[in-house]
Amino acid sequence: MSCPRQVSRAERRDDAGFTLLEILVVLAILGLLVGLVAPAALRQLGGARQSVVKQSIARIGTVLDMYKLDTGDYPSTEEGLDALVHRPSSVENWNGPYLKGGAVPSDPWNHAYVYHAPSEREGHDYDLCSHGPNGRGEAGSGMICNP
């Protein structure tokens, strides 16, 4: 007959798992890693959105050029970019819709693009801009316009 072996307190403690100190050290390391990686990831996301805006403005600019080839002029400020999707009543030779999906896309911050024709800038036929992240178009807000 065998006697159950008595387990000492020291032996039991070795099998108990992680100590509080070990868990705190791991949490501190994870916190440092998140603190270092998160700002870089957020910068990359902001840069990606600006890149998407520039590409979208260029694409809409190409569509505006197609509209002009068909109708002889760019849409007026009053007609806006909606003229690329719905035929304005005063326009002949409209061969649209020029944009897929039946709607004018929004910028990556979910704000409408701002369109003015004729342009308020020298040497441009129209202005097509995104007001950036805050959507207000204030100085220094990251406003991006057609080149």
Q: Please give the sequence-ordered ranges of beta strands (E in DSSP) within 1-147, or none if there are none.
A: 114-116, 127-130, 144-145
Could you give the C-alpha distances from 102 to 50, 56, 78, 81, in angstroms and in order? 24, 16, 19, 12
- Considering Cα of 71, then 74, then 79, then 81, what sign does the dihedral take? positive
Phi, psi (5° rounding) for residue 114?
Answer: -105, 130
Give the pLDDT band (50/70/90) at residue 58: very high
Tokens of 14: 């070795």
Q: What is the mean pLDDT of residues 60-69?
A: 92
Domain boundaries, the chain: 53-145
Residue 59's pLDDT band, with cuts at 50, 70 and 90, is very high
Specify the CATH number for 53-145; select among 3.40.50.300, 3.40.630.30, 3.30.700.10, 3.40.50.720: 3.30.700.10
What is the arithmetic mean of pLDDT over 17-43? 85
The pLDDT score that the predictor gives to residue 34 is: 85
pLDDT of the residue at 96: 79
- Would you tell me how many other CB atoms lie within 10 Å of the CB of residue 115? 23
> pLDDT tens, 24-35?
999 999 988 888
CB atoms within 10 A of CB 117: 21
**pLDDT for 54 beyond 60:** yes
Higher pLDDT, 37 or 137: 37
Between the alpha carbon of residue 89 and those of residues 15, 95, 116, the distances in Å are 82, 13, 19
Cis peptide before 97 (omega within 30 of 0): yes
Read off the pLDDT of residues 126-138 as tens digits, 9 standing for 90 and up. 999 888 877 776 5
Using the predicted structure, report yes or no on whether residue 10 has a pLDDT greater than 70.
no
CA 135 – CA 103 distance, rounded (Å) = 19
